[in-house]
Amino acid sequence: MSELTTVARPYAKAAFDFAVEKQAVDKWTEMLAFLAEVARDKTVAAMLTGYTSAGQLADIFIKIGGEQIDEQGQNFIKVMAENGRLVALPAVAEQFTLMREEWQKEVTAEVTSATELSAQQLEAIAASLEQRLARKVKLDCRIDSDLVAGVVIRAGDTVIDGSVRGKLNRLADKLQS
């Protein structure tokens, strides 16, 4: 996976720089997300690792994309196909999204809780994180009944473990030391 990230980063950077220059960041985000889904398709993925020529692969992506892929997007696909890098499209989309969030001063925080949180709780978490991280925060909520109670918040490199399971683990570590 880290190999694909390394391969994807220059393509994502080039696409992002172009999108910022043309003021089309949202359009490129949608286009790359769509292309990443196409690349994840089992039939297409088999072609990517098979013996299909670069030109044929580019044509397949362009035909599937139809109107969702503009001329610059088609050129992007052709360059990636010529270099044998279409398999990295999902990683390119991921890297592009990270660059977009950094550019927009946004961060996506994964909030894992034992039970579903109310709208007020989510607003309080978002406000607190925005103040702490000095960024706009989007919440991605998940439920994990193994937490017993409380929440675990992951935003970039920051992890806040306020779960009962986490507190019990920390208590056990202190008692053992």
Specify the fold of 2-101.
Peroxidase; domain 1 (1.10.520)
pLDDT, position 24 = 82
Cα angle 12-3-33, degrees, rounded to a multiple of 5: 35
Query: Average pLDDT of 107-134?
Result: 88
Tell me the β-bridge partners of 108.
138
pLDDT, position 2 = 60
Going from N- to C-terminal start, the domains of the chain cover 2-101, 105-176
Contact status, residue 57 vs residue 79, Cβ threshold 8 Å: no
Structure tokens at 74: 């088609």
pLDDT exceeds 50 at position 167: yes
Out of 9-13, 25-29, 157-161, which region has the weakest mean confidence (pLDDT)? 157-161
- Total residue length of the chain: 177
pLDDT, position 73 = 85
What is the pTM assigned to this prediction? 0.63
